Amino acid sequence: MDLSLSPAEREFRDAVRGWIEAHHPGREPDSEEQLFEFRRAWQRALNERGWAGLSWPTEYGGAGATLVEQAIFYEEVARAGAPSMANVLGLAMGGPTVIAHGTEEQKQRFLPPILSADEIWCQGFSEPESGSDLASLKTRAVRNGAEWVVTGQKVWTTYAHQAKWCMLVARTDPGAPRHRGLTYFLMDMEQDGVDVRPLVQITGEAEFNELFIEEARIPDENIVGGEGNGWPVAITTLMHERAGLAFALQVRVHVALRELRDDIRSAGLSDDRLIRQRFGQLYAEAQVLRLGAYRGLTRPPGPEGSLGKWHWAEVNQGVTELAMDVAGRRALLADGAWPYRFLRARANSIEGGTTEILKNIVAERVLGLPRA
């Protein structure tokens, strides 16, 4: 057991820290359009340094870094308050899925533009009738010669309006048992059959979209993992979502806690014992999250990743709830960062697998309890 960084890891950390200091583009702009271009520029700068696909194999433009180095990178980004990268779904989910299940041609074709953010990715899994019960999804893909014709509806599609490619799970064999009749496609978003409509959420923003698909076309060569094999490929994507994003997200909890600490001070509540205890508890939980993220750095990510995702949602919501109490009557005003964060955090225990589904996964696959 050694919880310190090795000399090589320290060297890597110092290199990342120095590079970020030298290239930090400053505060993120407020407008959504500018924000996207800002993050795209940041990703391109990182990619030129070889760090956009840090843990990807070197033959596909990655840096072949260890999982610990990737973790160090996230910690340094958060520490410096550096921006997120624009193509987060392609980097954290789409790329790793293609690396795990794609053909050599697919890797050559799809991976480099993910890294350069020339092609943005989105995820077409959830449907209006299929949320937690993903395998019940109804979007149909029918073979027509060397291509597939897709019709259906997807929802909660982040970045759909910027995306070139959609990780789309569709039903290709309605007669097969429901987990076996699914196929994982990469769908070109730039075609007439795809209509993107923004979905306004409780914060008033439209971070997500609805996707209406009417006879969209997908060539055969854009199937990942083979026809009828969509379920295990989709699980790969979801495991990477929970494990990969969880690390970056837990780092942001620590940053939020530092801001909350300063707000408690300026609100004159530093001596309030109840506030101190609640803060201390959240700090302890954030440390437990961080340690769990390091313990969970395994490849490929397993069902234990579900623990971290659900714990993160609880802690992140807890931080924003304490912040609202610290704000007191100022919480009546919709300005400032915390009211927005408080509202946005309500989605944490729903997006990327509801807490209830994650508890099912842990109960069944880790503890071996019978299926619900």
Partner 1 sequence: MNFDLSEDQRTIRSTAREFLAARYPPAEVRRLALEDERGFTDAQWSEMVELGWPEIAELGTVEMVLVAEELGYALAPTPLQSTWAAALLGAPLWEAQRGAVVVDGLAFDAGSADVLVDWDGAVVTGASVEPVRALDPTRRLFRVISDPPTPRSPVEGDVERGRLRATVMNAAESVGVAERAMEMAVAYAKERKQFGRPIGAYQAVSHMCAQMLLEVEGARSAVLWAAWALDHEPETAEVATAVAKAYAGDAGRRVPRAALQVHGGIGFTWEHDLHLFLKRGEANAHTFGEGPEHRERIAELAGL
Q: For 170-175, which contacts have Cβ atoms below 8 Å and span 24 or more sequence positions?
A: 170/137, 170/139, 170/140, 170/141, 170/230, 171/137, 171/138, 171/139, 171/140, 171/141, 172/140, 172/141, 172/142, 172/143, 172/148, 172/227, 172/228, 172/230, 173/228, 174/140
Q: Which of 75, 119, 241, 285 is catalytic?
A: 241
What's the min distance (Å) between Cβ of 190 and partner 1?
42
Q: Does 15 participate in binding partner 1 (rule CB under 8 A)?
A: no
> Closest distance between partner 1 and the C-beta of residue 335, in Å?
25
In terms of Cα–Cα distance, which of 112, 136, 71, 25 is closest to 289? 71
Taking the complex as a whole, the smallest distance from the CB of residue 5 to partner 1 amounts, in Å, to 6
* 268 sits near partner 1 (criterion: CB under 8 A): no
In whole angstroms, what is the distance from residue 237 CA to residue 278 CA? 35
Q: Tell which positions 53-72 bind partner 1, by CB under 8 A.
A: 68, 71
Q: How many residues bind partner 1 (CB under 8 A)?
A: 47
Q: How far apart are CA 207 and CA 205, in angstroms?
A: 6
- Residue 277 interacts with partner 1 (CB under 8 A): yes or no: yes
CA distances from 359 to 9, 243, 289, 301, 364 (A): 34, 15, 16, 17, 8
264 near partner 1, rule: CB under 8 A: yes
Cβ proximity of 301 and 70 under 8 Å: no
Let me know if 241 is a catalytic residue: yes
Q: Which helix (H) or strand (E) covers residue 183, if one does? A: strand 182-188
Piece in contact with partner 1 (CB under 8 A), picked from 138-146, 147-155, 218-226, 291-299: 291-299
- Which residue, chain included where needed, has tokens 């039903």? 171
The verdict on 315 binding partner 1 (CB under 8 A) reads no
- Based on CB atoms, which residue is closest to partner 1, 105 or 271? 271
When asked if residue 202 is in the footprint of partner 1 (CB under 8 A), the reply is no
Chain residues 330-359 in contact with partner 1, contact rule CB under 8 A: 356, 358-359
Pick 13 or 344: Cβ nearer partner 1 = 13
Confirm or reject binding of residue 76 to partner 1 (CB under 8 A). Answer: no
Where in the sequence numbering do the catalytic residues fall?
241
Judged by the rule CB under 8 A, the positions of this chain that interact with partner 1 are 1-6, 9, 68, 71, 257, 261, 264-265, 270, 273, 276-281, 283-285, 287-288, 291-292, 294-295, 307, 310-311, 356, 358-360, 362-364, 366-372
